[in-house]
């Protein structure tokens, strides 16, 4: 898992976390507005949403190596293309393409690969290990990108990031993802053509409650990721203080994941999600209520980072625990589509509110509303979760024919997600 984790550090750092710093430099150099620049990020996330389900289905069929290594290679080439832009059209083409490659290189495809290697019900350790590595992405790449821009400019920084994707990410994904060693082969789920497990999951209220909660999380995450840097700039923090405060997000993510791994390794996704979503409204309240001094910024980023780090684990384990262990990639792809659509809206909506109100206070209030909605979705999903044991030893490979939702065998006992089936 260490190779996959290192590749995730580089993928997240180069394709996602680097954008706000590069965007700020481009605005000054090319005279583009924030709305124009962040509109490209929105276009990229929308394109990513379109390919999320096909990517997940391809990984379910055992093509994870080529999906992730190919995605990293194309992302690297697009970063090189981005480094040469001088007009908005080419900029939008490059950033939109990079957005599509995010669907093939970030957490969702990595989790689907791990689920195939270990089996969905045994993927928790692998998911936690990869997220521990990837938690350092912001800490490594925020200062790295700042250093590269000081010495090479934003165009040179993009070229280095492109090289990292081609040399490091693509190579690691190709080397460490070995479908021949997968321990899990998806069983056939009956139904009228297509993916029966996915169709059954779409009928479950818990699926949509999770999708809504994760969509709110994605909107919150993208808005804060893209606007935290300019927010701190607008409130008077110097560049060094901003980089230090934001760099704390990574260690906070890792620290939160370590705490869960060491002291609550068997806590369920339902329990974990219900508790950790409190971090998000609290982090916004810190920024809203207290003056933006350096230590206040650090407190807010640590709280936010802790919540983000643990929420990532919840995303990875909630599907097999609360929805279905079958067709992990496809089901995750649908939820990812909801998340990516929300993630696309987040930065642009935050920029629009900031411009309309003349500052970030209105944006923070809107993000507080999103954080409260996220908590409501998690609590609703927790109440809807149902795992009902059937008669021990009963042989049944699928419930699709009975329209009862996904079933799976655990310890020689059949489990059904339907609360009325027994």
Domain harbouring 131, CATH code: 1.20.1250.20
**Residues 330 and 404 both lie in one domain:** no
User: Is 297 found in the same domain as 334?
Assistant: yes
Q: Do residues 145 and 221 both lie within one domain?
A: yes
Which tokens belong to 30?
């090319």
Instruction: Count how many residues are written for the chain.
Output: 422
Do 165 and 213 belong together in one domain? yes
For 181-240, what is each residue's pLDDT tens digit? 876 655 544 444 446 778 888 888 999 999 999 999 999 998 998 899 889 999 999 988
Residue 404 has pLDDT above 70, yes or no: no
DSSP state of 264: -
Q: How far apart are CA 173 and CA 333, in angstroms?
A: 19
Q: Would you say 279 and 309 are in contact if contact means Cβ atoms under 8 Å apart?
A: no
Query: Both 232 and 346 in a single domain?
Result: yes
Q: What is the CA radius of gyration of the chain?
A: 21
The whole-number pLDDT of residue 195 equals 65
pLDDT given at position 419: 39
CB 43 within 8 A of CB 99: yes
Range of the domain at 216: 2-184+193-385
Tokens of 326: 């079958």
Burial of 238 (0-12, 13-18, 19+ CB in 10 A): exposed
HSE-CB at 116 with a 13 A cutoff on CA atoms is 27
Task: Select the highest-mean-pLDDT range: 48-57, 358-367, 400-409.
Answer: 358-367
Query: Dihedral angle at the C-alpha atoms of 74, 78, 79, 85, nearest 10 degrees?
Result: 170
Q: What's residue 127's pLDDT?
A: 86
Model pLDDT for residues 176-198, shown as the tens digit of each residue: 998 878 766 555 444 444 467 78
Are 253 and 356 within one domain?
yes
Per the structure, the count of domains in the chain is 2
Specify which residues 407 forms β-bridges with. 416
- Give pLDDT tens digits for 101-158: 999 999 889 988 988 887 766 777 888 888 888 888 888 998 999 999 999 999 999 9
User: In the 8-state DSSP scheme, what is residue 83?
Assistant: T
pLDDT at residue 62, as a whole number: 87
CB 310 within 8 A of CB 276: yes
At residue 172 the predicted structure's pLDDT band, cuts being 50, 70 and 90, is: very high
CA-CA distance, 18 to 9, in Å (whole number)?
12
């Amino acid at each position: 898992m260490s190779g996959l984790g290192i590749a995730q550090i580089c993928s997240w750092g180069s394709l996602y976390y680097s954008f706000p710093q590069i965007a700020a430099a481009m605005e000054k150099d090319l005279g583009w507005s924030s709305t124009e620049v962040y509109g490209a990020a929105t276009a990229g996330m929308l394109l990513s949403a379109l390919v999320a389900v096909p990517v997940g289905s391809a990984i379910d069929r055992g093509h994870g190596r080529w999906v992730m290594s190919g995605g990293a290679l194309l992302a690297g080439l697009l970063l090189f293309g981005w480094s040469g832009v001088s007009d908005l059209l080419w900029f939008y083409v490059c950033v939109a393409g990079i957005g599509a490659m995010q669907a093939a290189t970030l957490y969702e495809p990595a989790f689907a690969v791990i689920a195939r290697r270990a089996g969905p019900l045994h993927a928790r350790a692998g998911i936690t290990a990869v997220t521990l590595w990837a938690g350092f992405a912001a800490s490594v790449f925020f200062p790295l990108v700042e250093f590269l821009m000081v010495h090479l400019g934003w165009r040179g920084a993009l070229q280095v990031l492109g090289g990292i994707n081609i040399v490091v990410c693509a190579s690691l994904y190709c080397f460490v993802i070995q479908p021949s060693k997968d321990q899990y082969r998806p069983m056939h789920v009956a139904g009228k053509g297509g993916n029966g497990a996915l169709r059954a999951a779409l009928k479950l209220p818990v699926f949509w409650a999770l999708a809504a909660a994760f969509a709110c999380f994605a909107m919150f995450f993208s808005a804060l990721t893209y606007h935290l840097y300019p927010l701190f700039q607008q409130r008077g923090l110097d560049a060094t203080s901003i980089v230090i405060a934001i760099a704390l997000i990574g260690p906070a993510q890792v620290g939160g994941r370590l705490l869960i791994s060491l002291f609550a390794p068997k806590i369920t996704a339902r329990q974990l999600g219900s508790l950790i979503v409190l971090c998000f409204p609290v982090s916004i309240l810190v920024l809203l209520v207290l003056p933006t001094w350096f230590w206040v910024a650090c407190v807010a980023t640590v709280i936010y980072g802790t919540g983000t780090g643990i929420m990532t684990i919840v995303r990875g384990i909630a599907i097999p625990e609360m929805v279905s262990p079958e067709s992990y990639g496809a089901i995750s792809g649908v939820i990812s589509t909801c998340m990516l659509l929300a993630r696309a809206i987040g930065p642009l909506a935050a920029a629009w509110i900031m411009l309309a109100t003349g500052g970030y206070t209105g944006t923070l209030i809107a993000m507080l509303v999103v954080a409260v909605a996220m908590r409501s979705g998690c609590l609703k999903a927790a109440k809807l979760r149902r795992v009902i044991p059937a008669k021990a030893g009963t042989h049944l490979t699928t419930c699709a024919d009975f329209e009862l939702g996904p079933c799976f065998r655990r310890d020689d006992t059949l489990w059904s997600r339907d609360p009325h089936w027994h």
